[in-house]
A and B are shown apart, each in its own frame.
Chain A
Amino acid sequence: MKSIRYSPLMIAAVASVAGVVLSIVMTPRSNDAVALSILLVAGALSAGLLFAPSLRVAHPVVARAAKVLLVVVVTLFATYFFPTTTNFNLAIAAAMSVTLVGLSFLTGASGQISLGNGAFMGVGAFTMAIWANHHATTPIVAALLIAIAAGALVGLLLGLPATRLRGPYLAGMTLAFAVAFGAILNSFNSWTGGSGGLQLPRATNPPSWLVGLFHQGVAPLTTNTIWLTDITVVASGVAFFFMANLFASRTGRAMRLVRDNEVGAELVGVNLARTRVLAFVISSSYAALGGALWTLINNAVTPSTYSFALSIVILSVMVIGGIGTIPGALIGGVIYAYSADVISWITAQTGLNPQGNLASQLDGIIFGGLLIVTMLFAPRGVAGLYRTFRRRQVIKGPDGVVPVEETYAEA
Chain B
Amino acid sequence: MPMIAVYVGMIAFGNYFGFWICAALAVVVGFIIGAGTERILVRPLYGKPEINPVVVMVGFLTVLEAIAAAIWSTTPRSLPSPFSPIDYRLGGRPLPLSAFTIFEVVTALAVMAAVSALFRFTNLGLQLRASALNPEVSRLLGVRVNRMLTLGWTLSTGVGTVTAILVSSNFFTGLTPQVMDGIFAFGFIAAAVGGLDSPVGSIVAGVVIGIILQFVGDFLNSNAIILVALAILIVSLMARPSGLFTHARTRRV
Contacts and interface: CB of A to CB of B under 8 A. Distances in A.
Contacts of A173: 188, 192, 233, 237
A367 B189 CA distance: 27
A371 B188 contact: no
Given A176-B230, A180-B185, A364 B58 contact: no
Classify the interface of chain B: helix, strand, loop or mixed.
helix
Interface in A339-376: 357-358, 360-365, 367-372, 375-376
Interface in B4-63: 41, 44-45, 48-56, 58-63
Contacts of B60: 368, 372
A176 B189 contact: yes
Interface string A381-396: 0000000000000000
B252 A167 contact: no
A375 B253 contact: no
Contacts of B234: 157-158, 160-161
A315 B58 contact: yes
A183 interface: yes
A178 B58 CA distance: 14
Contacts of A165: 192, 237
Contacts of A372: 41, 56, 59-60, 63
A176 B229 contact: yes
B56 A167 contact: no
A281 B233 CA distance: 19
Contacts of A176: 185, 188-189, 226, 229-230, 233
Contacts of A378: none
A171 B253 contact: no
Given A168-B54, A375-B59, A361 B253 contact: no
Contacts of A364: 62-63, 65-66, 69
A273 interface: yes
B49 A180 contact: no
A21 B61 CA distance: 56
B110 interface: no
B235 to A, nearest CB: 8
Interface stretch (A107-115, A123-131, A231-239): A107-115
B250 to A, nearest CB: 9
A183 B230 CA distance: 11
Nearest to A161: B237
A367 B62 contact: yes
A168 to B, nearest CB: 5
A171 B50 CA distance: 11
Contacts of A315: 55, 58
Interface string A3-44: 000000000000000000000000000000000000000000
Given A375-B59, A376-B41, A167 B51 contact: yes
A175 B188 contact: yes
B49 A365 contact: no
Interface residues of B, number: 52
B224 interface: yes
B73 interface: yes
B62 A308 contact: no
B137 interface: no
Given A179-B226, A371-B58, A375-B55, A357 B73 contact: yes
A308 B223 CA distance: 16
A254 to B, nearest CB: 14
Nearest to B59: A371
B253 A172 contact: no
B113 interface: no
A371 B252 contact: no
B52 to A, nearest CB: 6
B227 interface: yes
Contacts of B90: none
Given A357-B69, A372-B56, A408-B49, A272 B253 contact: yes
Contacts of A408: 49, 51
Contacts of A162: 237
A183 B55 contact: no
A369 B64 CA distance: 10
A187 B48 CA distance: 41
Interface in A225-274: 272-273
A408 B72 CA distance: 38
B140 interface: no
Max chain B CB contacts within 10 Å: which of A180, A358, A367? A180
B227 A183 contact: yes
B182 interface: yes
Max chain A CB contacts within 10 Å: which of B48, B49, B62, B234? B62
Given A113-B54, A169-B196, A411-B49, A175 B62 contact: no
A72 interface: no
A115 B50 contact: no
Contacts of B135: none
B192 A172 contact: yes
Nearest to A411: B49
A361 B69 contact: yes
B99 interface: no
Contacts of A272: 252-253
Interface of B: 41, 44-45, 48-56, 58-67, 69-73, 181-182, 184-185, 188-189, 192, 196, 221-227, 229-230, 233-234, 237-238, 241, 251-253
30 contacts: A107-B51, A113-B51, A113-B55, A161-B237, A164-B241, A164-B251, A164-B253, A166-B50, A167-B50, A168-B54, A171-B54, A172-B184, A173-B192, A176-B230, A180-B227, A183-B226, A184-B223, A187-B223, A272-B253, A357-B71, A361-B67, A362-B66, A364-B62, A365-B62, A365-B63, A367-B62, A376-B41, A376-B44, A409-B52, A411-B49
Of all A-B residue pairs in the complex, the 6 with the closest CB atoms, nearest first, are A364-B66, A371-B59, A368-B62, A161-B237, A368-B63, A172-B188
Interface of A: 107, 111-113, 115, 157-158, 160-169, 171-173, 175-177, 179-180, 183-184, 186-187, 272-273, 276, 308, 312, 315-316, 319, 357-358, 360-365, 367-372, 375-376, 379, 408-409, 411
